[in-house]
């Protein structure tokens, strides 16, 4: 995982996700939801009274998330309570935090819906964020050797890209900042919005494999990429350093990721050809990169659609806490994928995550990257049907 400004990673023990999810599935019975739903039915329609409509995840996933953070939430004494004086259980706290993150509604509105004051919503949500940082980081990690074999196999089988390890893309998390704050100018991006950048590497299943966030929107993709631990590891040969694939004429194709024209062309990062009147080989190469790149666009669009707290313009957010909220939203999104939550299949697809942003072309091209791209382009063109 790349740098997340304001967050310090702690060591933790390994967790068997499948076993933990199976155990959690038997916890958090219907009694809790019956009681909790009664507190909010006055604010929900008949359809919204269904658990999945309120939280956008299944009960199985909800119970698993509760199992992850239970010890942390119970370890700290608190007097969090509903307006009627009833203290919040772990399930209550997770429900409040998930609702805040998924709905994007104000602290006041969430508090009114759940019958508590807005300060309680704020404190409960932040405690949940801290607990997820501590307990769920194993859901966002670079692939193991076997996982990488499966990833490369999917990229080649679906899009014909041999030895491809992922797709990189970036999106803007817009914010409302006070113009009185002189430091706010650095957060103004090329579309004149205040924003924070999230850059991510995505696998074929739309799982986040590496992220870097916390940098101001005034920075484009190149400096954000260079700031990442992933970039530094690749430059040192410590990442994307797996087995090569032999192409015709004795050429060897190293591991690489792909990105769009916002990114530099590097020995381990392949981007599209620029210009008009491209050869058939270059046109075909661009088509394949574009088709495979949709997985990253869909992943970022789904992230914002699922966790609306980062979709719209956040009103004067804490710029030190926002990167950590973004990280937790990515963790939650990966958990949904890892548990194959059936609710996610019911949501409509979109690949628009920065609808008002125009593409910023990057003209930086490393010579070794140019050579590798040309070799792969030629290889792909030779495999086209006559």
Give the model's pLDDT for residue 56: 87
Record the tokens describing residue 331, joined without a space. Answer: 């963790």
What are φ and ψ of residue 132, in 5° steps? -65, -40
Query: Rounded to an integer, what distance in angstroms lies between the CA atom of residue 140 and that of residue 241?
Result: 20
Q: Which region, left, alpha or beta, applies to residue 206 given φ > 0 means left and ψ of -120 to 50 means alpha?
A: left
Give the model's pLDDT for residue 26: 43
Query: Rounded to an integer, what distance in angstroms lies between the CA atom of residue 70 and that of residue 302?
Result: 27
Instruction: Name the residue with higher pLDDT: 294 or 83.
Output: 294
Does position 248 have pLDDT exceeding 70, yes or no? yes
Sign of the CA dihedral running 116, 117, 120, 124: positive
Give the model's pLDDT for residue 31: 81
- Calculate the alpha carbon distances from 120 to 37, 116, 283, 326 in Å: 18, 7, 55, 21
For residues 270-292, average pLDDT: 94
Q: Which of 100, 1, 6, 3 is nearest to 321 (CA)?
A: 6
The SS3 call for residue 78 is coil
Task: Write out pLDDT tens, residues 324-379.
Answer: 999 999 999 999 999 999 887 776 667 676 677 777 889 999 999 999 999 999 99
- CB-based contacts of 197: which residues, under 8 Å, 6+ apart? 170, 171, 172, 173, 213, 215, 216, 217, 219, 224
For residues 199-204, average pLDDT: 98
- The whole model's pTM is what? 0.89
Record the tokens describing residue 347, joined without a space. Answer: 């949501």
Are the C-beta atoms of 120 and 93 separated by less than 8 Å? no
Strand partners, 197: 172, 215
The single residue listed with the structure tokens 């805040």 is: 100
Record the tokens describing residue 2, joined without a space. Answer: 């790349």
Q: Which of 271, 263, 269 is nearest to 288 (CA)?
A: 271
Does position 385 have pLDDT exceeding 60, yes or no? no
Q: What is the per-residue DSSP string for 289-334?
A: HHHHHHHHHHHHHHHHHH-GGGTS-EES--TTTHHHHHHHHHHHHH
Query: Rounded to an integer, what distance in angstroms lies between the CA atom of residue 300 and that of residue 342?
Result: 19
Strand partners, 216: 196
Mean pLDDT across the chain: 87
């Amino acid at each position: 995982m790349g740098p997340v400004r304001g967050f310090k990673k702690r060591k933790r023990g390994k967790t068997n996700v499948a076993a933990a999810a199976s155990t959690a599935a038997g916890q958090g019975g219907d009694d809790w939801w019956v009681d909790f739903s009664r507190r909010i039915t006055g604010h929900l329609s008949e359809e919204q009274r269904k658990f999945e409509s309120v939280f956008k995840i299944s009960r199985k996933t909800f119970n698993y998330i509760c199992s992850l953070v239970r010890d942390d939430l119970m370890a700290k004494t608190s007097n969090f309570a509903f307006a009627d004086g009833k203290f919040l259980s772990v399930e209550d706290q997770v429900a409040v935090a998930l609702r805040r993150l998924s709905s994007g509604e104000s602290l006041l509105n969430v508090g009114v819906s759940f019958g508590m004051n807005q300060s309680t919503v704020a404190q409960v949500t932040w405690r949940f964020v801290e607990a997820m940082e501590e307990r769920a980081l194993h859901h966002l990690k670079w692939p193991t050797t076997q996982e990488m074999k499966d990833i490369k196999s999917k990229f080649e089988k679906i899009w014909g890209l041999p030895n491809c390890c992922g797709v990189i893309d970036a999106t803007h998390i817009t914010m409302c900042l006070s113009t009185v704050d002189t430091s706010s100018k650095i957060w103004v991006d090329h579309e004149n919005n205040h924003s924070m950048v999230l850059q991510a590497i995505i696998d074929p299943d739309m799982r986040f494999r590496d992220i870097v966030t916390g940098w101001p929107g005034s920075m484009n993709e190149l400096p954000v990429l260079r700031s990442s631990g992933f970039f530094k590891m690749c430059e040192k040969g410590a990442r994307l350093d797996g087995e090569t694939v032999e192409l015709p004429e004795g050429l060897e194709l190293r591991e690489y990721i792909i990105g769009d024209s916002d990114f530099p062309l590097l020995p381990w990062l392949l981007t599209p050809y620029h210009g008009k009147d491209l050869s058939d080989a270059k046109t075909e190469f661009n088509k394949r990169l574009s088709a495979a790149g949709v997985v990253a666009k869909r992943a970022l669009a789904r992230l914002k659609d699922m966790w609306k707290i980062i979709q719209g313009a956040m009103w004067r957010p804490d710029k030190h806490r926002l990167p950590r909220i973004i990280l937790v939203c990515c963790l939650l999104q990966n958990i949904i994928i890892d548990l194959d939550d059936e609710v996610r299949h019911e949501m409509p697809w979109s690949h628009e995550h920065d609808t008002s942003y125009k593409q910023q072309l990057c003209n930086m091209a490393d010579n070794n990257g140019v050579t590798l791209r040309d070799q792969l382009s030629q290889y792909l063109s030779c495999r086209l049907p006559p």
